Amino acid sequence: MNVVQPTPASLIAALAGVLPNGGLLTADADLARYSRDWSGDHFGRPLAVARPASVEEMSALMRRCHEERIPVVPQGGLTGLVGAAVAADSGEVVISLERLNTIRSVSPIDFAMVVEAGCILEDAKRAAEAHDCLLPITFGAQGSCRIGGNVATNAGGFNVLRYGMTRDLVLGLEVVLADGRIWNGLKVLRKDNRGYDLKQVIIGSEGTLGIVTAAALKLYPKPTQVETALVGLRSVEDAMALYARARRDCSDLLTAFELILRQGIEITMREAADFPEPLTRAYPAYVLIEVSSGGLIDLSAMLLGFLGGVSDIVEDGVVASTRAQGERLWRYREIMVERQGRGGRYLRTDVSVPISKLADFVTEALAALEQTRPDALAVTYGHVGDGNIHLNVVPPEGMASEAIEQLFEEAEEQIFAVVDRYGGSISAEHGIGRVKQKAFLERIDPVALDLAAGIKEAFDPRRILSNGRILASKSSLDYR
């Protein structure tokens, strides 16, 4: 059993020596904003916050932390949803990437950009747009999350079905290792088959293997046309039948296909008075469809033609006639996501099953919840074009906190049991962190666990990096 020793304050104070110009924060008032994540569910007061302003400073910082065995956790925009980026109770120094935020280059000829890890995703997207290019990673937290966090969580989002996840968009990485060495794997090559693809091990590693300081990212031509529709449907089965048709008829011009069940639309209507019933009446299921392209295609005619051909499935719908109207349709989803918990806690799940099984999965999981916990509200939505669904559970108003804990435990167990039956994943996008660790370790293949433990040992033998995320913080040979 590995006993975590408290880190003496003198060692922490000494870190200021490698981070000149206010790079180390230790005052309580300064630490507050690095202590709580977006969800508000996870809190951890760091021993200090280190804010390196260059890769060299990051390297010197990690060399010192390695020598002194000071535990650290890298932090981006704190929008991760599995409690991984806040300091652990055992005491950790938060390494904030916020001062490493330069856009180093954008090359429209290479269709690539090199961005430092602390750059906010939206700023990186704008920089690409200034060169008529698209950085496709798109989701609700893009105004706060940072590129390093996107890489470390292998972020997905609305456009995965066309452009892939962050993993598919990274051409190269610059990483500072646990012992302070700098691995310069930054390159903008489309093809490179030299040996192991180490960047793929770092992507999605949630800060446990190294600190990403910069990423070379793939860009695409910026679409000049975007068309959006919201349609009402009888069921999730119909939504999936519609998806199958859209995937073929719209081909790669289909950029988003987002399912929202009726409760989600009701949440938006409840929370935002200026968002009334979006279609002529209520429907059990809704889908937001987005197609996009360059200028040579009559995209509007294609979408209208497609919708005309699926009138056997679609009950009702609205097609945005301007970009502003399209954005307003998306707001129905965003408001629901932001306010589903009424400002309180709710259970978030982020699962995936094979696309062919998604409708059955939703039906079965909702029936199981309804039978055992009819008091809770299930909110269901997701990027179903990727087989990804959020089945969230909101407790009834006024429920005591122990009862909420019990509800979350029961509901999660039920949902994950159905995921298992359908051969799915308990984490389609958000990762494992600390929140999903138990469920992850209960399910992991023993050979995969051995390999994962070996990788951790190779990258971080002293286990100072994000210890206790993904793998448990026990002996290096026994992570269960």
Ligand X SMILES: Cc1cc2nc3c(=O)[nH]c(=O)nc-3n(C[C@H](O)[C@H](O)[C@H](O)COP(=O)(O)OP(=O)(O)OC[C@H]3O[C@@H](n4cnc5c(N)ncnc54)[C@H](O)[C@@H]3O)c2cc1C
Helices (H), 212-280: 236-249, 262-271
Q: Does 84 bind ligand X (CB under 6 A)?
A: yes
CA distances from 335 to 89, 405, 413 (A): 33, 25, 28
Binding mask 427-456 for ligand X (x = CB under 6 A): --xx--x-----------------------
| Nearer Cβ to ligand X (85/320) | 85
The one among 87, 141, 161, 240 contacting ligand X by CB under 6 A: 141
- The DSSP code sequence of 188-200 is --S---SS--HHH
Cα three-residue angle 198-149-176, rounded to 5 degrees? 45
* Backbone angles phi and psi of 195, in degrees to 5: 65, -155
Letter for the amino acid at 440?
Answer: F
Q: Does 92 bind ligand X (CB under 6 A)?
A: no
Q: Does 103 bind ligand X (CB under 6 A)?
A: no
The one among 18, 25, 58, 97 contacting ligand X by CB under 6 A: 97
Sorted by sequence, the CB contacts under 8 Å of residue 307 that are 6+ apart come out as: 229, 231, 314, 317, 319
Please, which of residues 314-373 interact with ligand X by CB under 6 A?
337
| Nearer Cβ to ligand X (201/318) | 201
The single residue listed with the structure tokens 């975590």 is 4
Q: How far from chain centre, in Å, is Cα 353?
A: 17
Q: Which three-class secondary structure state does DSSP give residue 227? A: strand
| Nearer Cβ to ligand X (94/365) | 94
Q: Which stretch binds ligand X (CB under 6 A): 144-152, 218-226, 277-285, 366-374?
A: 144-152
CB atoms within 10 A of CB 337: 19
Q: Which stretch binds ligand X (CB under 6 A): 64-72, 177-185, 192-200, 207-215?
A: 207-215
Least distance (Å) from ligand X to the CB of residue 381? 10
Letter for the amino acid at 168?
Answer: D
Q: Does 145 bind ligand X (CB under 6 A)?
A: yes
Q: Does 254 bind ligand X (CB under 6 A)?
A: no
Least distance (Å) from ligand X to the CB of residue 266? 19
Q: Does 91 bind ligand X (CB under 6 A)?
A: no
The one among 16, 123, 131, 140 contacting ligand X by CB under 6 A: 140
- Residue 375 and residue 359 in contact, taking contact as beta carbons nearer than 8 Å: no
CB atoms within 10 A of CB 356: 11
316-319 vs 225-233, strand pairing mode = antiparallel
Let me know how many helices (H) and strands (E) the chain has, helices first. Answer: 16, 18
The one among 211, 288, 376, 419 contacting ligand X by CB under 6 A: 211
Q: Does 173 bind ligand X (CB under 6 A)?
A: no
Q: Which stretch binds ligand X (CB under 6 A): 155-163, 308-316, 325-333, 372-380?
A: 155-163
In the complex, the residues that contact ligand X under the rule CB under 6 A are 38, 73-81, 84-85, 97, 117, 139-141, 145-146, 148-150, 152-153, 155-157, 206-207, 211-212, 337, 429-430, 433, 466, 469
